[in-house]
Structure 1
């Protein structure tokens, strides 16, 4: 039985690397999602929900993930600077960030009738041990260890969340008390994604809000970081292709994701049409798709040999002439809720980086937009 399980999995790991752009260069890209967004507010909030009987300890995003702190970024930058590629560059994280969070006080003052948001830099001011986060980001950018890119305005489905607040759903109101929009509340969830699927919709009215949210978010991104985001990673891998026009107009040239895009089906809640993509494929706006082919998520898979499995998949990518595009979410590297989670994630990341350099001394670290530029300049067209 074990063999029959492994064969299809290994075949899949090869198949996703066959079509699309190729290069003899050994390129590694780390794409890390969720930076800037609130999740579990504090250890106090976590214990409160456990006492209510919410199984937040069963969902790693609720149990480990929180707004990045001073310590989180300092320690991450230390690990990224610990190796050098063939060009003398350290490892770089494409930090796919959310640039805003709900303004919980204003929403409450308005009796949940209207939605308001604040830039994530304002959110940082209310969290302890977060007063140097933005400065550390700037240091990481200057030293080429971090490259913020657009993950959305919020990691939040605004219309569905506001509707649940107005309906008085208990789990949503409980989370709201702590400045949170998401909490794992089975057996009474509204839906699987806990309001994090920011670009999902069920009705035309919900969809019609999304272009303005994206355009506004890209402007906020530009105001915070001082440059345009050339790539975009849709929250939960869910977006309608119709939104790519708005992204293109806002300067987005590259669309991060997996081989499958989940497109909402209007009129059928929580159902999606799969759309297949391959590396370097372009759409009608000339935007190119970047496809993740390695997954390094130790907080999700603590029983897996995460370093060994990632090195295998990097080797498969290189064997097919593909860059290794590694998905590795923020929750692996934050420790406000559990320092052991961060320590383990960083220890394994250091081992992975050391393993990459040792196994492939000619490796090159790039950010997503740098890889996209390379593909766009290439004579190989797809």
Structure 2
């Protein structure tokens, strides 16, 4: 009972403050697209045999999106239309770069090397043609047809400080993952303030100075890869220090996706808490956006995800808020386990059907479209 009460209070807190609209707007903000985490089922078997742990469903199932992943996703998104005749749209918070595994191996894993996403797809189409033939062309088709509107999620989805430290120490689990063309099952127990996957985590606040050029280069490469400038940024694992806000602003970012209740690292394991809401402005002029709905249909929490998400959308609309739905690519990945993709897409189809049936005046927008509309009001 207490848990349900706290959940209800928190859900209302997400919606009671900030920008409001009478429009029934639904946005899908979906993290981690373009990122190579797990290469293949064989890679997972090899790492299992080497004793590497599976810490989460991401370690077990999260792969670079395949041709089938995108084809089946587009079928589901196009199965409904909003009041304007528009299909549902994903805003993939995406990476333009990945580890260049082949180059690193050729150089005996001495230093970090990266490549752009089209090059990653070109290699994978040769290595795993049944999964990756034509995938990058399908990506571009999805953007052109309005099913996908990617925005920036960092240059790559890893913490370089942790990566380089482990590389220097010839860390067995890192080298095992890299030899399997993967970056997963990486422990970060030695790093109290840094996740191995959070690109902008740090120990000392001065380290943020070295992160500035990585963000700048990442935004430039995002434009090169996806064909336009990103205006919206979700930090990997939601972590970023405010000293980087001006760099984002100076390089075209207008909108920043942050947690409702944010705990910002100030350096050396000291944290400062803050409260965010949709439409809040930073002193640099960035508009903060906050996700107020969660949809993680392949995460086993013992709940009916469609019903749970519908209740969150209903609560958002009751408060005259857009429904900004938070999700992750892993829910729709089938390269390791096709049943995982089937379950995730069936839940997505059911959710979309219920949305358009319940709210015939719904509008599907990309995250940047919503944010631009908010900013211009």
For normalisation by structure 2, the TM-score amounts to 0.94
Q: Deviations over 1:285-324 (max 9, x none)?
A: 2211111011100122363200000000000000001000
SS of the equivalent of 1:152 reads: coil
Q: Deviations over 1:56-110 (max 9, x none)?
A: 1x51001111010000000001100000001110000001101101122333444
| The 10-residue stretch of structure 1 (129-138 or 318-327) with the greater mean CA deviation from structure 2 | 129-138
SS of the equivalent of 1:284 reads: coil
Partner Cα distance (2:67, 2:108) in 1 = 34
Partner Cα distance (1:261, 1:323) in 2 = 20
Partner Cα distance (2:365, 2:271) in 1 = 32
Partner Cα distance (2:291, 2:39) in 1 = 29
Pair 1:120-2:117 in alignment: yes
Partner of 2:21: 23
Judging changes above 3 Å, is the alpha-carbon distance between structure 1 residues 189 and 122 closer, same or farther for their aligned structure 2 residues? farther
Q: Deviations over 1:164-214 (max 9, x none)?
A: 11101211111111122221559x776697511100011355322210000
| The 10-residue stretch of structure 1 (153-162 or 255-264) with the greater mean CA deviation from structure 2 | 255-264
Partner of 2:31: 33
Partner of 1:213: 214
Partner Cα distance (2:102, 2:12) in 1 = 49
Contact 2:46 2:180 survives alignment (8 Å): no
Among 78, 81, 85, the alignment partner of 1:84 is 81
Contact 1:254 1:290 survives alignment (8 Å): yes
| The 10-residue stretch of structure 1 (212-221 or 250-259) with the greater mean CA deviation from structure 2 | 250-259
- Residue correspondences, number: 372
Partner Cα distance (2:194, 2:86) in 1 = 37
Judging changes above 3 Å, is the alpha-carbon distance between structure 1 residues 337 and 210 closer, same or farther for their aligned structure 2 residues? same
Judging changes above 3 Å, is the alpha-carbon distance between structure 1 residues 115 and 47 closer, same or farther for their aligned structure 2 residues? closer
Partner of 1:324: 323
Contact 1:54 1:185 survives alignment (8 Å): no
Partner Cα distance (2:61, 2:122) in 1 = 21
Gaps in structure 2 of 5+ consecutive residues: none
Deviation at 1:112, TM superposition (A): 4.1
Pair 1:146-2:148 in alignment: yes
Judging changes above 3 Å, is the alpha-carbon distance between structure 1 residues 124 and 194 closer, same or farther for their aligned structure 2 residues? farther
Pair 1:54-2:63 in alignment: no
SS of the equivalent of 1:29 reads: strand
Pair 1:255-2:252 in alignment: no
After TM superposition, the structure 1 = structure 2 runs for residues 154-169 of structure 1, keeping only pairs within 5 Å, are 154-169=156-171
Partner Cα distance (2:59, 2:192) in 1 = 15
Partner of 1:355: 354
Contact 1:239 1:262 survives alignment (8 Å): no
Partner Cα distance (1:369, 1:343) in 2 = 28
SS of the equivalent of 1:342 reads: helix
Partner Cα distance (2:168, 2:304) in 1 = 45
Deviation at 1:5, TM superposition (A): 1.4
Pair 1:67-2:64 in alignment: yes
Partner of 1:288: 287
Partner Cα distance (2:171, 2:230) in 1 = 36
Task: Kindly report the root-mean-square deviation, in angstroms, between the aligned alpha carbons of the 2 structures.
Answer: 1.8
Deviation at 1:328, TM superposition (A): 1.1
Judging changes above 3 Å, is the alpha-carbon distance between structure 1 residues 133 and 191 closer, same or farther for their aligned structure 2 residues? farther
Deviation at 1:4, TM superposition (A): 1.6
Contact 2:162 2:194 survives alignment (8 Å): no
Partner Cα distance (1:145, 1:41) in 2 = 25
Partner of 2:304: 305
For normalisation by structure 1, the TM-score amounts to 0.93
SS of the equivalent of 1:264 reads: strand
Partner Cα distance (1:272, 1:238) in 2 = 12
Judging changes above 3 Å, is the alpha-carbon distance between structure 1 residues 197 and 308 closer, same or farther for their aligned structure 2 residues? same
Q: Deviations over 1:325-373 (max 9, x none)?
A: 0011000001001000000000000000000001111100001110111
Partner of 2:95: 98
Contact 1:99 1:119 survives alignment (8 Å): yes
Partner Cα distance (1:245, 1:194) in 2 = 24
Contact 2:43 2:182 survives alignment (8 Å): no
